[in-house]
Amino acid sequence: MAKSSGKVTFKDTVATYERLLREIDKGKYAPVYLLMGEEGYFIDRVCDRIADTALSEAERVFGQIVLYGKDTDEGTIINYARQMPMLGRWQVIIVKEAQALRKPEQLSLYTAAMSPSTILVICYKGKTLDKRTQLYKHIAQKGEVLESVRPRDYEITAWLGDFIRSRGCTIDAKALGMLTDHLGTDIAKISNELDKLLTYLPEGTTRITAQDIENNIGISKDFNNFELTRAISEKNMSHAMLIADHFCHNPKDNPLTVTISALFTHFQRIFIINYKRWEAKHKNTQMPSDAELSALLKLPNPFFLAEYKQAASLYPNRKVFNILGLLREYDMRSKGIGGDSSDDGELLRELLLKIFLE
């Protein structure tokens, strides 16, 4: 059974999630599941897989009970879990929104001695159960714990590539960049958009392009943070200002805080390349290989490395330091710190001009 210790990473979450699905599909069920954490996608998928497979359709009528933390209490959950199934080998008790329970630790009265004919699924979304509690220790020892961690920016792209391949498709690097740039790291949201996209695409489509993303999800393939950072890398001021103008007219789809965050990551990566080049020249160290450099920069796809190398040649670290300072300044101004009355469009245009004039 699952035993958890230390800090859980997104990679750990994916590994546990995939293992649980494999075991569930083989009909191997634990007596209790604790599905907890910030990323709701994996919690929902494991819960749904148990709900769909543990019982037949006829058995579900009497043997599957769904409770909600805000509408129930620990005693009711325990009473249901201790009942004998009316049909079949077992019953399934699903507790959704378990984080709303007033005293979830009381469930340890059940997990200390569980019914062999019950599968208890506890969905504890948005937070994690205290690992020092008896409830957590019982479940980690006798059942399964999935701690659902949200991915970092550089982790989401690889996962999405695998996710899309599992659907029988591939996706162009630019199209993938557009998705993650626009939707962030909310896997549930991205998965929902991809499900809709795959439904809309013509039957037999095996490759998703930037045009597909624009046509079906509504993300512009020409006016996005992905294209803005590229224009800056190439010192193409006119194109960057054109993108900024589009952002000004579509502020809800292009929030300034997200753009500044993308620019900050962009110039951090340029800084690292410049520093590695300086080390190779002045400390007689070997320049990292392209694969090593891509990993060091945490690039979503090695495809983007050429752009960063070019940008590093145009933006020495003397300029990069100043630009990072500008980004911090405009981030604060965009949040109203300092009493700035400029709108986001004005701030973005002003910021870009200063970057190009550095």
298 and 342 in a single domain? The answer is yes
Whether residue 48 is predicted with pLDDT greater than 60 in this model: the reply is yes
Q: Which two tokens stand for residue 137?
A: 């220790």
**CATH label of the domain that carries residue 262:** 1.20.272.10
110 and 52 in a single domain? The answer is yes
User: Does residue 338 lie within any of the structural domains?
Assistant: yes
User: Does residue 4 lie within any of the structural domains?
Assistant: no
Q: What is the dihedral of CA 322, 324, 327, 332, to 10 degrees?
A: -100
Q: Which of 59-63, 142-146, 208-212, 299-303 has the lowest mean pLDDT?
A: 299-303
How much is the average pLDDT of 260-278?
Answer: 95
Whether residue 341 is predicted with pLDDT greater than 90 in this model: the reply is no
| Whole-number average pLDDT of the chain | 91
- Residue 3: pLDDT band by 50, 70, 90 thresholds? very low
88 and 46 in a single domain? The answer is yes
Whether residue 318 is predicted with pLDDT greater than 70 in this model: the reply is yes
252 and 144 in a single domain? The answer is no
141 and 51 in a single domain? The answer is yes
Residue at token pair 């058995």: 59
| End residue of a domain, out of 123, 148, 173 | 148
24 and 108 in a single domain? The answer is yes
Number of domains in the chain: 3
How much is the average pLDDT of 60-74?
Answer: 95
Round to whole Å and give the CA distance between 55 and 87.
9
How much is the average pLDDT of 194-198?
Answer: 86
**Higher-confidence position of 355 and 220:** 355
- Residue 111: pLDDT band by 50, 70, 90 thresholds? very high
How much is the average pLDDT of 18-29?
Answer: 97
298 and 254 in a single domain? The answer is yes
176 and 86 in a single domain? The answer is no
The CA angle 250-254-258, to the nearest 5 degrees, is 160
**CATH label of the domain that carries residue 165:** 1.10.8.60
Could you list the residue range(s) of the whole structural domain that residue 207 is in? 153-217
118 and 196 in a single domain? The answer is no
Share of the chain above pLDDT 90, in %: 70
169 and 243 in a single domain? The answer is no
204 and 300 in a single domain? The answer is no
161 and 116 in a single domain? The answer is no
- Residue 339: pLDDT band by 50, 70, 90 thresholds? low
User: Does residue 5 lie within any of the structural domains?
Assistant: no
**CATH label of the domain that carries residue 93:** 3.40.50.300
CA distances for 254 relative to 150, 238, 328, angstroms: 22, 19, 18
Ordered DSSP codes for 75-120: HHHHHHHHSPPSSSS-EEEEEETGGG-S-GGGGHHHHTS--TTEEE
3-state secondary structure labels for all residues of 317-352: HHHHHHHHHHHHHHHHHHCCCCCCCCCHHHHHHHHH
How much is the average pLDDT of 65-92?
Answer: 94
- Residue 105: pLDDT band by 50, 70, 90 thresholds? very high
How much is the average pLDDT of 268-279?
Answer: 96
